[in-house]
Amino acid sequence: MKRLVLKFGGTSVGTTEKIRKVANIIKKRFSGDNEIIVVVSAMSGVTDDLKKKSESISKNFDKKELDALLSSGEQASCSLLAGALIDLGIKSRSWLGWQIPIITNNNHTSSQIIKIKNDEILNFISNKGVAVIAGFQGISKENRITTLGRGGSDLSAVAVAKFFQTDSCEIYTDVDGVFTTDPSINPKAKKIEKISYEEMLEMSSLGAKVMQPNAVQASMLDDIAIDVRSTFLENTGTKIVSENEIDFKNVVTGIAYSKGNAKVSIIGVVDKPGVAADVFEPIGKNNINIDMVIQNTSLDGKNANITFTIKQEDLNTTLSIIEKNKEKINFNKITHDDKLAKVSIIGAGMISESGVTHKMFRSLANEKINILAISTSEIKISVLIREELTQKAVKKLHEAFGLN
């Protein structure tokens, strides 16, 4: 007998018909005398709709009330799924985060799980019951409902796997697993059988939407193997495992991309100690994430140009912040460019392989794709390009590194 956690995303429980299909999947897994804990997301579209309602009330809707509002989507789906299981003759009940409880910090809208009390649910599943837990939510020490950020049900499932010491953690979604790139922009993408935590973390952070980055990081820290598979097909999925289980026969494992980026350049900054801190400190205080950073110093060493990238929706706020701090930063002018995309190649095999950077840049040059900025790590190279060239770049790199 094994103890399993099965997580079903919003598209998997998007309609009552799909919820019945999910209930039948659980019934099959339960019939093998397994102990089953299920984690569910809200039905697809529900969380976005609730968010829009909050914005119609206030552009600065209180975060604590927003958590209480957004968490209601999972309450509906876990109750419907528990009801569907009962209808199939399976003992089941739903649990909300506060009922278990799932204890989090009080960082509302993006909380982290501290611990999960497990005795009540362990008793229930040991007596032939299927526990259905609302993902994405918990409760703070201040007794307020919290949520775990976009895609937080993945993080809920990984935490359940940890605190309940399950034998496996299965993430069911609307795709067949993790692909070498987005099949919607490159039909030649193929499913990856196994991928390391580090590679998956890079891919999810750089635009792949299969799993939440925080969930991948949590699974890596606790060495919890993840099996990503389709709710709608009975094929094998993708296993996310430690790198010692991967042969890395491919230098590049996948191509990720993200659109909606903007580039800001501050020209003629007086080059002195602390100038970069003066630029980025007020931006950080406004919760704007900085991505790529490039600093070029003039030949005489007196001035510098600082270039960085942000999300497109943060551009106007960022420009305003810089202008307000012009006297402190001391620069000549600002230039900016929006509608940019970041395209990245990821692969742990790059650590021991030379010539990867040249191959990437030459492939893009042959397609007349200009690179606007570059960032690298041991297992990824990212470039900033014009947004309209994203598909062309992804297809070319996918072919160049033998992933078709």
For 108-131, the pLDDT digits (tens) are: 999 999 999 999 999 999 999 999
**What mean pLDDT, rounded, does the chain reach?**
92
Q: For the residues of 71-111, what is the DSSP string, one character each?
A: THHHHHHHHHHHHHHHHTT--EEEE-GGGTTEEE-S-TTS-
Average pLDDT score over residue span 383-396: 96
The predicted pLDDT at position 167 comes to 92
Sheet holding 254-270, edge to edge: 293-297, 303-311, 254-270, 333-346, 380-386, 373-377
- Model confidence band, residue 7 (pLDDT cutoffs 50, 70, 90): very high
Total residue length of the chain = 404
* Domain ranges, ordered by start, for the chain: 3-174
**Residue 159 near residue 146, CB atoms below 8 Å:** no
Beta strands in 137-237 (DSSP E): 137-140, 145-147, 168-173, 194-196, 226-230
pLDDT of 247 strictly over 90: no
Tell me the percentage of the chain whose pLDDT exceeds 90: 75
Q: What is the pLDDT of residue 42?
A: 97
Look at residue 273 in the predicted model and tell me its pLDDT.
84
What are the angstrom distances between the C-alpha of 353 and each of 5, 347, 348, 383? 38, 10, 10, 19
* pLDDT for res 209: 78
Residue 134 has a CB neighbour count (10 Å cut-off) of 30
Q: Which two tokens stand for residue 101?
A: 């409880």
Kindly state the average pLDDT of the residues 295-300. Answer: 79
pLDDT in tens, 43-99: 999 999 999 999 999 989 999 999 999 999 999 999 999 999 999 999 999 999 999
Question: Per CATH, the architecture of 3-174 is what?
Answer: 3-Layer(aba) Sandwich (3.40)
